[in-house]
Amino acid sequence: MPAGRAAVVFTAAAALLSNSAIAAETPDELVARGRAVLEAAGGCTCHTDFDDDGPPLAGGRPLSTPFGVYYSTNITPDPETGIGRWSDADFARAMREGRAPDGSAYFPVFPYTSFTGMSDEDLRALKAYLFSLAPVRRENRPHDVWPPFSWRLSARIWQWLHFEPARFSPDPSQTAAWNRGAYLVHAVAHCGECHTPRTLTGAIDRSRWLAGASDGPEGELAPNITPHETTGIGRWTATDLVWYLQMGFDPDGDDAQGLMRETIEHGFQHVPRTDLEAIATYLATVPPIENRLLDHADHADHADPEP
Ligand code: HEC
């Protein structure tokens, strides 16, 4: 490998993992880093039942999908009703392979299809953070989904058809910032889970990556965030995007709603600016796809008003 390229691979890997720093980490530092991972994941707010004043991360939140209503699970360290008995390996397997400790398959409403890209170090830190929280006793609710989507076996078949566990691998031809952004968007922040349309069987349609979805979780519309000029966010500057992810205001001053607002409030607003800039760097390079879901005429008007 040419020396220049080796240096890029090395910096990319170092930016992702910062190995040397991690080796000397204290338990408190591990927990603090885990909190930062949770924030980069948008705060894992699907596991909080805000409508019912549910305790943070104790599950029970209804997530309506075209297949019925799934209830998120308790991910506090309660040994009976949460994940308190899980080993690091159990946690990593759930996140990266979509398997429960008893080996059964999770439904893809749990975005392991993205988390599969996460690094060992980020998963170890995230688990340490979750285990530093107070355990909450709250029984999981059975899903309210019609057959055959309610059968665990169908989740297994779905995985067989659509899912291959795979760690994120940096692209040596890109900069460290681009790779960091790609890692966050693909794996940790799982932007594609909401912003990419799905096929009839509920798989992410990779050919329309980030082109927006009108039937996202809770039936919300998640707009096109490809750099398409008129139907995506092609006219947003990197600063516009960083501002949106920090403050929740788009370039027109409209505030983010619904799930996006939650992920900003409980997560993205705390993410270091360099990471948000890395996200913007990566997003500017994904293929622009035309897909008008929102009326972006407002944004477009700044540049060239339609006649
Ligand atoms: C849990 C689902 C979910 C996740 C995860 C998510 N988003 Fe969103 N996003 C939404 C929804 C829903 C909206 C629409 C918000 C509104 O209507 O105000 C939105 C809106 C946006 C917008 C505004 C677009 C516009 O045209 O107004 C941007 C930009 C955006 N998201 C970027 C991101 C990025 C970048 C990530 C990952 C770092 C991400 N989102 C992760 C659900 C999500």
Let me know if residue 238 belongs to a domain. Answer: no
Pair 166, 180: CB distance under 8 Å: no
Task: Give yes or no for residue 258 CB within 6 A of ligand 1.
Answer: yes
Let me know if residue 120 belongs to a domain. Answer: yes
* Exposure of 53 in the CB half-sphere (CA atoms within 13 A): 0
pLDDT for residue 24: 83
pLDDT for residue 21: 58
* Exposure of 292 in the CB half-sphere (CA atoms within 13 A): 8
Q: How many C-beta atoms lie closer than 10 Å to residue 178's C-beta?
A: 18
Let me know if residue 200 belongs to a domain. Answer: no
pLDDT for residue 243: 98
pLDDT for residue 299: 42
Let me know if residue 164 belongs to a domain. Answer: no
Task: Give yes or no for residue 277 CB within 6 A of ligand 1.
Answer: no
CA distance 101 to 91: 8
Let me know if residue 12 belongs to a domain. Answer: no
pLDDT for residue 146: 83
pLDDT for residue 16: 55
Residue whose tokens read 């910032």: 177
pLDDT for residue 289: 97
Task: Give yes or no for residue 294 CB within 6 A of ligand 1.
Answer: yes
Q: Token pair for residue 72?
A: 């998120």
CA distance 131 to 19: 22
Ligand 1 centroid–CA 261 distance in Å is 8
Let me know if residue 27 belongs to a domain. Answer: yes
pLDDT for residue 22: 66
Instruction: Tell me which residue has its CA closest to atom 41 in ligand 1.
Output: 191
User: What is the domain extent for residue 29?
Assistant: 23-155
Q: How many C-beta atoms lie closer than 10 Å to residue 298's C-beta?
A: 12
pLDDT for residue 303: 41
pLDDT for residue 216: 72
Give me the number of domains the chain comprises: 1
Residues 6+ apart with CB under 8 A from 131: 77, 84
Ligand 1 centroid–CA 34 distance in Å is 23
CA distance 137 to 55: 10
CA distance 141 to 154: 19
Angle ∠(153,158,161) on CA atoms, nearest 5: 130
Ligand 1 centroid–CA 225 distance in Å is 8
**Mean pLDDT in runs of 10 for the chain (307 residues)?**
47 51 85 98 97 96 91 98 98 98 94 98 98 97 86 91 96 98 98 95 94 83 96 97 98 95 98 98 98 63 40
CA distance 82 to 190: 23
Instruction: Tell me which residue has its CA closest to atom 23 in ligand 1.
Output: 223
Pair 275, 180: CB distance under 8 Å: yes
CA distance 208 to 195: 10
Let me know if residue 86 belongs to a domain. Answer: yes
pLDDT for residue 300: 40
Pair 82, 58: CB distance under 8 Å: yes
Let me know if residue 248 belongs to a domain. Answer: no
Mutate to test the pocket of ligand 1, among 183, 194, 279 (most ligand atoms within 8 A of CB): 194
Ligand 1 centroid–CA 115 distance in Å is 18
